[in-house]
Amino acid sequence: MSVTDSRSLTELAQALANGDTSSVALTEAALTRIDALDGALNSFITVDRESALRDATAADARIADGSAAPLTGIPIAHKDIFCTRGLRTSCGSRMLDNFTPPYDATVVERLRSAGAVVIGKTNMDEFAMGSSNENSFYGPCKNPWDLNRVPGGSSGGSAAAVAAGLVAAATGTDTGGSIRQPAAFCGITGLKPTYGLVSRLGMIAYASSLDQGGPMARSAEDCALLLEAMAGHDPRDSTSAQRPVANYREQLAQSLDGLRIGIPKEYFGEGLDSGVAAVIEAALKEYESMGATLHEISLPRTALSIPAYYVIAPAEASTNLSRYDGVRYGHRCDNPKDLEDLYTRSREEGFGAEVQRRILVGTYALSSGYYDAYYKKAQQVRRFIAGDFASAFESVDVIAGPTTPGIAFALGSKTSDPTAMYLEDIYTLSVNLAGLPAMSLPAGFSQGMPVGLQLIGQHFEEARLLGAAHQFQQRSDWHRQTPKLELPA
């Protein structure tokens, strides 16, 4: 008997509005699916059963009295990087295994206000550092299409939970591709908004100039619905953009006639799997049939995005993670001999290998005598990368290409080779360095595994991206494909 639910966020909202189901029924069904399937997937770190059912009961009352908001009564999950009042927020790390925040992140607060029922917190790479969700203190998450493969990272738990039908939608964060890459590997739709569009307050920091929260769901329509609730200026976040929130759903039906799509030649060279290339090329031909025109462009500094990112992000991480010292909150070692021992052992015990590696790299890059050679140089390269995109957008409206160079790889196949792991983000990193919006949508399959098409837009042009993705999804059913997960006998 199948227990998965393939209905989209939009379909669930309609079912609630029509009285065909209740929030309590949806929440109980989601909890049943998690109980049945998540032992194999490990997509959740924490499930908040009692609070979810209580909130679902309250949501049904609001639906009955006509005061429901757009997401009222729909169970969703949050990546365990968003602070949730009264509910453990671990960031996938032993360091925060015992941390219960006294407040909600702005994203959580806004989705609660929109009526969503928080059912739990999803697995992730520790402090969002990883591309496979194998760096979690709570063990690796599995890809629901093949349990021997990774779901991608760092938002792998959210991607796996949505793909497996445990929830219809979840939040993620994207520092260098951590929404788009797992969305591609798991066959769902994920949007990384323009830097500053979604508040970072209460989103535990990895690299402050790169981190951005965003929606992960089945379709572009679902992501539009979520983004309307998540986006908007937050006076408590100094990096929050002061812009009105667009009605993204109203603009989904925009025609693609004359849409100029740029195809970066650097995205189709050495390193791209032939099966993935074939899927992406077929998707681009579909866009041509809808009236779009394809134009070859160049993003010449694409290859430099990896070294630039892996200087800037660890440098910022080394600063952000210095607050975890065993004194104020988080993991504290037993019986420290003195203050130095407290700091040293608390951090050694609390941080995993990948986090320690990036802290050391970042500290080195910021140290006296090396700042100009590494960090300053990386920031200069970052400016050039942003300039490449600006030049490209003078002649095209949207940039398209593969989200990842290959399909989801086998668990454990890259853990001993950090460089190979970092190369998984070759097509996504530069978008974060430039602060642009981008999304991944399902475009087909290769070797039985999902392939994601990446669309990149100009700053604050999420509506155009969502519209382009929605029109493609009106002509295809890749986003409706679900893995065959069955209730164990």
Catalytic residue among 90, 93, 132, 178: 178
Task: For residue 431, tell me if it sits in a domain.
Answer: no
Could you tell me the pTM of the whole model? 0.96
Is position 178 annotated as part of the catalytic site?
Answer: yes
Q: What is residue 6's predicted lDDT score, i.e. its pLDDT? A: 87
CA separation for the pair 469, 251 (Å, rounded) = 11
Number of domains in the chain: 1
- Say whether 2 is catalytic: no
The pLDDT, as a whole number, for residue 1 is: 37
35 assigned to some structural domain: yes
> Which pLDDT does position 404 carry in this prediction?
98
Q: Is residue 140 part of a domain?
A: yes
184 and 217 in contact (C-beta within 8 Å)? no
Distance of CA 203 to the CA centre of its chain: 13
The active-site residue out of 79, 121, 142, 192 is 79
pLDDT score for 2: 52
Tens digit of pLDDT for each residue in 419-445?
A: 888 889 999 999 999 999 999 999 999
The residue ranges of the chain whose pLDDT is under 70 are: 1-3, 486-489
Asked whether residue 275 is assigned to any structural domain, the reply reads no
The one catalytic residue among 132, 154, 240, 346: 154
The CATH number of the domain holding residue 215 is 3.90.1300.10
Burial of 378-402, coded b for 16+ CB within 10 Å and e otherwise, reads beebbeebbebbeebbeebbbbbbb
Quick check: is 154 catalytic? yes
Calpha distance 287→471 (Å, rounded): 9
Q: Which residues contact 54 (CB under 8 A, 6 or more apart)?
A: none
312 close to 209: Cβ distance less than 8 angstroms: yes
For CA atoms 16, 29, 7, 402, the dihedral sign is: positive
Domain encompassing residue 55 = 9-255+473-480
Which amino acid is located at 396 in the chain?
Answer: V
- The alpha-carbon radius of gyration of the chain (Å, integer) is 21
Strands 189-192, 438-446: pairing is antiparallel
pLDDT recorded at residue 3: 62
- Report if residue 250 sits inside a domain: yes
